[in-house]
A and B are shown apart, each in its own frame.
Chain A
Amino acid sequence: MTRPAIEAEGLVKHFGDTVAVDGVSFVVPEGTVLGLLGPNGAGKTTTVRMMTTLTRPTSGTARVAGHDILHDPAAVRRSMGLTGQAATVDELLTGRENLRLIGRLYGLDPSYLTRASGELLERFSLSDAGDRIAKTYSGGMRRRLDLAVSLIATPPVLFLDEPTTGLDPRSRVELWEVLRELVKDGTTLLLTTQYLEEADQLADNIVVIDRGTVIAEGTPLQLKDQSGAAALVVTVSHPRDLEAAEALIRPHVREVHVDAGSRQLTAPAEGLGHMTRVAGIFDESGIVLDDIGLKRPSLDDVFLHLTGHRAEDGAQDGTQDDETATEQAGRITR
């Protein structure tokens, strides 16, 4: 473990009577990725906005690359890049002009800026589109440009607020690749996401927040372990066999849950031997199975376990953040 790149200390934000963030603390070691995971309206965006000096915390503070957000916001801004929830590229400028504008505002050396813009366009597969106005870009291209713009001054710390919201699966995987490259080069990443898979894929550590507070923290593995043992899942080929299958399995498991829609029986797993035994019983019974296997809990299950509600039904306690993501909320499924 190296020195922390980001430290949040009891961040609190009230909007009028609404408490959007209620005492969030965590530490992100240099060169690692923290996934800030939570449903819509959990306070992720507000937390990021406070840490990036866009919103003043009601109380608490944070340090980015060792600089306090309250006492030295200018130094914080020099040390970090931010890619917001909506791709904030200037639609009427070309990709290259977007990079140059932000680079110029950073006061970068002009010849460096020319070189760096070219390199970033190349790296984000935007070379061919670099001199077209951003209005003509696809969603994935805009996201990549937005990220490239955040990197023009090579900040050691990068904040990404739902970087893949609204992207198609292929663009998401591509963006993940780019982010992994960045981390390999030593950049510290904080990304918010409501995609459990995304946190699982990218993050070294995950902080789960719900209704403005941290409800769990740990590596993806630790979090999965928290929600208990794996499950034994049996899928029968014909719905008519479900009842017989349930009767057959019941004496051998502690409890069983039947889902007619997916033709699945789910029971707590008790090791490999147990699974083999159950498989043998079905073999003798003549009930045709599509599949039998062990399923490790996904982060989705973890979330359900921790919050008592699924990740997708969050948005009701409307803090003002995450508005734009609401329509995407339905996509979080396994």
Chain B
Amino acid sequence: MSTIERPEIRDTGLLTQSWAIARRNFRHIRRMPEMLLDVTIQPVMFVLLFAYVFGSSIDVATPAGYRAFLLAGIMAQTVAFASFIVAVGLTSDLEKGIVDRMRSLPINPAAVLVGRSISSIVHASIGLVVMSLTGLLIGWRIHTNIFEAAFGYVLLLGWGFAMIWIGILVGSAMRSVEAVNGVMFATIFPITFLANTFAPTDRMPPFLRTVAEWNPISSLTQAVRELWGNDQPLAEGAAFPMHHPIPFTIGWIILITAVVAPLAIRTFRSRTAD
């Protein structure tokens, strides 16, 4: 009775498998373009709101004014939201049994996470492109050389990479997409505001100013501003990280990844293994 044809099953390796899963996620975006709102309409609205509504009453000493100052901040916020994208996608796949389906296949179990990470980085990169274009339209320019400009983008993407681990941690721990939205909105959102992203920190109350200047998001924003020539002279009494934003940003990326990645993997394992 075993005349039935059995095709050859080949182990194509982690990268091919992850790419297949990432392509599936891209297809989701094609089918539901509104999934991209978080990196298109939303940040563009923020840029416009802050540039035109609040911008007129925020004083900065940046050469091209507040709009140039603003761009790096909004980009930092958007890559921080990469964690959001990962967490929502992962929770939804866990909930629907898609992850179990993948785990029952002869593939590297990490492919589910790597595939999700690749698509999230691409997702966030779309946001960086959209915002750069918006910025160019309203008068933002990069005043340095191409290497520093590129390094700024690399730091933003590196930040997005660290955020992916937070996304995997939250996505593995939560039982529903709604819960993910709640948790992420209640944490990441205020963290991205309690920083130098939208307004200079030197006029904040002293305690808040210290918190804001030690906020990792501030290091990232300040680093990118410096690399793009969008920074203003450091105010009197700025905290230590503001004087060395680039090493601090790299340090934060490494630290967050080193601490959160093992936790995230453990949470994902215990969520799926039982």
Chain A residues within 8 Å of B, Cβ to Cβ: 15, 31, 52-56, 74, 77-78, 80-82, 84-86, 88, 90-93, 97, 101-102, 104-109, 112, 116, 133, 149, 153-154, 156, 185-187
Q: Which of A53, A84, A105 has the most CB of B within 10 A?
A: A105
Q: Which residues of A contact B104 (CB under 8 A)?
A: 52-54, 77, 80-82
Are A153 and B7 CB-contacts (below 8 A) given A77-B104, A133-B31? yes
Min CB distance B67 to A, Å, is: 37
Which one of B95-103, B147-155, B162-170, B244-252 is at the A interface? B95-103
Which chain B residues (87-115) contact chain A, with CB distance < 8 Å? 96-98, 100-107, 111
Q: Which residues of A contact B17 (CB under 8 A)?
A: 105
- Residue ID in chain A nearest B27 by CB atoms: A93
Q: Which residues of A contact B274 (CB under 8 A)?
A: 15, 55-56
Q: Which residues of B contact A31 (CB under 8 A)?
A: 1
Q: Would you call B24 an interface residue if the criterion is a C-beta within 8 Å of the partner chain's C-beta atoms?
A: yes
Contact of A186 among B1, B27, B111 (CB under 8 A): B1
Q: Which residues of A contact B28 (CB under 8 A)?
A: 92-93
Are A154 and B8 CB-contacts (below 8 A) given A90-B24, A105-B107? no
* New A-B pairs, 12, CB < 8 Å, besides A54-B104, A106-B105: A53-B103, A53-B104, A56-B274, A93-B24, A93-B28, A102-B101, A105-B20, A106-B7, A107-B16, A149-B101, A185-B4, A186-B4
Are A154 and B5 CB-contacts (below 8 A) given A90-B24, A97-B27? yes
| Interface CB pairs A-B, < 8 A, 17 | A52-B104, A55-B273, A81-B104, A86-B96, A92-B32, A93-B28, A97-B24, A97-B27, A101-B21, A105-B20, A107-B10, A107-B11, A133-B31, A149-B101, A154-B7, A185-B1, A186-B4
Q: Which residues of A contact B101 (CB under 8 A)?
A: 82, 84, 88, 102, 149
Min CB distance A152 to B, Å, is: 9
Are A54 and B103 CB-contacts (below 8 A) given A92-B27, A106-B9, A107-B10? yes
Are A56 and B12 CB-contacts (below 8 A) given A84-B100, A106-B106, A154-B4? no
A112, B7: Cβ atoms closer than 8 Å: yes
B7, A116: Cβ atoms closer than 8 Å: yes
- Residue ID in chain A nearest B101 by CB atoms: A88
Taken together as a complex, chains A and B put the C-alpha atoms of A35 and B9 apart, in Å, by: 28
Min CB distance B103 to A, Å, is: 6
Min CB distance B214 to A, Å, is: 40
Are A109 and B7 CB-contacts (below 8 A) given A77-B106, A92-B32, A101-B20? yes
Taken together as a complex, chains A and B put the C-alpha atoms of A81 and B104 apart, in Å, by: 8
Contact of B96 among A88, A97, A102, A105 (CB under 8 A): A88
Taken together as a complex, chains A and B put the C-alpha atoms of A130 and B16 apart, in Å, by: 25
Q: Which residues of A contact B4 (CB under 8 A)?
A: 154, 185-187
Which chain B residues (10-39) contact chain A, with CB distance < 8 Å? 10-12, 16-17, 20-21, 24, 27-28, 31-32
Contact of A108 among B7, B96, B97 (CB under 8 A): B7
Min CB distance B239 to A, Å, is: 46
